[in-house]
Amino acid sequence: MSSTGRFLQYHQPDTLTSTTVVDLLILISFFALLWLSQYLAAKIIRAGILGPIVAGIIYGAPLANILLTEWQTTFLALGYIGLILLIFEGGLQARLDLLQANILLSVCAATTGIIFPIGLSFLLLYMGFGYGVVETFIVGAALSSTSLGTTFAVMSSASETIDFSQTRVGAVLVSAALIDDVSGLVMSSVIQSLGSVSDGGSVNLGWLISRPIVASIAMTIITPVLAKYVLAPVFRKFLQHRLARYGHRSNIVVMILVLCAFITIAAYAGTSVLFGGFLAGVLLSYLPSARNVNSPGKQCESQGGRQEAELPSFVETFEHYVQDVQRYVLEPLFFASIGFAIPFLDLWTGSAVWHGVVYTLLMIVAKLVVGVWIPLWAALSPPSKAVAHAGEARTGPAASRTRNSRVKAAVSPGCLLGMAMVARGEIGLLIIQIGFNSTTYLSQAAFVTGIWAILLNTIIGPIAAGMLVKHRGKAIGEGVWGVIPEPGAHSGSTHAEQHARRPDRTSDAEKRCST
């Protein structure tokens, strides 16, 4: 086969020596297994993300290595796009009022979720198993992270009746996971620099540590200020009515431009591109005027015989154009790529198993303890303030002004927060593989122990959170830590109920309007 330097000649796949009918059947069976395993995992253990991880282990390098290496590399890149879109969708649906109101609690939760895994790692790995100080720090840093992608996946799929992105506990969870993501980026940069130090290179550790922190704080402050005082007024006054005639098509262009701009800024500023994707979604959710945010699609209003189209919300555009391919192709590929990165066969020596299982249990406790902050917060908050956070007067135990009943009502939300923080996923794998491949400090034994904990925590966390939501989701959603009506929303209608009543694809108004 020949090709020029300027283009690749197209051939039917069955005429290529490297892509046979068997290869095509392998690809088809891989995607079929992705979807089937995701469906079964969601139905049986209410944690659909685990199915693609298992499929990635089976078809990827860790076990059977059925997929070609270049295919796995391609799926890794596509999966990362799916992760960015997953975080971007979370930003579109985020509630700034909830994030701001609970930021102090979120910082306390995130700090606890960083300190406890590192501290308990030194207690077990350094003092118990005899690992070195630096390699203990590397493994502990990997286990101090929280999988941001898994967090959003759990929130979006845990319950069919409650939209946990609109709950107070969901806001705390998202904020804490974002802070852990940024801290994980900082520690991965430090760990990568350790390789240069061990090779005799010089590294400015102060700048290396401060750069992602400063960049993240700056983007966090500048984005809402810029959106509120500059971009939103300009968009609403000059662009919104002009873009309305093009409907979803104009929105998708704006979404692509804003998302690309934010992940580029985040990457060059030194912070996480996932954090940039989340802020891009937050910015877009703020741009349209309030009358368009929850509109059921493009509306038509007769004004003297003239029809005027109303711009759909960016959430509707995402659901209309992106959500299906993201949910059924890109997101499963992301979780399968986690499976690609797990050294499955190296996990099954005697010492590796018992070291890994013991460390896993300790790391579950290290993140579960984060959930203690919600009952503690309920106990320390004045009764009037605790009830006011619900956004409306509620009846029953959730609205009780007694300290004991407030703490009791906060137990289930606290358990949900702790369980959802358990999954480590992509950030943990990134940190520990940087430590293993880029430095000389991390031994094979410590690497395998860390992988065991990352893998089992990423499995156990979503399962536990899904089971809790199955049995206590409605109570959590209706409690003080549950769904908070948006400012200006009808008191008898929650965001989740509004979302449920929204037409799935095309409303009657859209049918009367041209796109």
Most confident of 2-6, 300-304, 388-392, 499-503: 2-6
Model confidence over 143-168: pLDDT tens digits? Answer: 999 887 788 887 776 656 677 878 99
Pairwise CA distance, residues 254 & 336, whole Å:
30
pLDDT at 307 over 70: no
Q: Is the dihedral of CA 460, 465, 466, 467 positive or negative?
A: positive
Model confidence over 5-25: pLDDT tens digits? Answer: 688 777 666 555 555 788 889
Pairwise CA distance, residues 149 & 441, whole Å:
29
Pairwise CA distance, residues 170 & 196, whole Å:
40
Confidence grade of residue 116 (pLDDT, cut at 50, 70, 90): very high
Helix (H, G, I), strand (E, B) or coil at 318: helix
Model confidence over 411-422: pLDDT tens digits? Answer: 999 999 999 999
3-state SS track over 384-443 = HHHHHCCCCCCCCHHHCCCHHHHHHHHHHHHHHHHHHHCCCHHHHHHHHHHHHHHCCCCC
- For 113-135, what is the mean pLDDT? 94
Model confidence over 326-383: pLDDT tens digits? Answer: 999 999 999 999 999 889 999 999 999 999 999 999 999 999 999 999 999 998 877 6
Between residues 57 and 489, the one the model is more confident about: 57
Q: Over the chain, what is the mean pLDDT?
A: 82
Number of C-alpha atoms within 13 angstroms, CB side, residue 504? 1
Model confidence over 241-260: pLDDT tens digits? Answer: 899 989 899 999 999 999 99
Question: Which pLDDT score is estimated for 306?
Answer: 38
Q: Is the dihedral of CA 35, 40, 46, 47 positive or negative?
A: negative
168 in Cβ contact with 482 (< 8 Å): yes
Percent of the chain with pLDDT over 70: 81
Report the predicted TM-score, pTM, of the whole model to 2 decimal places.
0.81
- In this structure, what token pair is assigned to residue 314? 């960016």
Question: Which pLDDT score is estimated for 383?
Answer: 65
Q: CA angle 322-323-329, nearest 5°?
A: 90
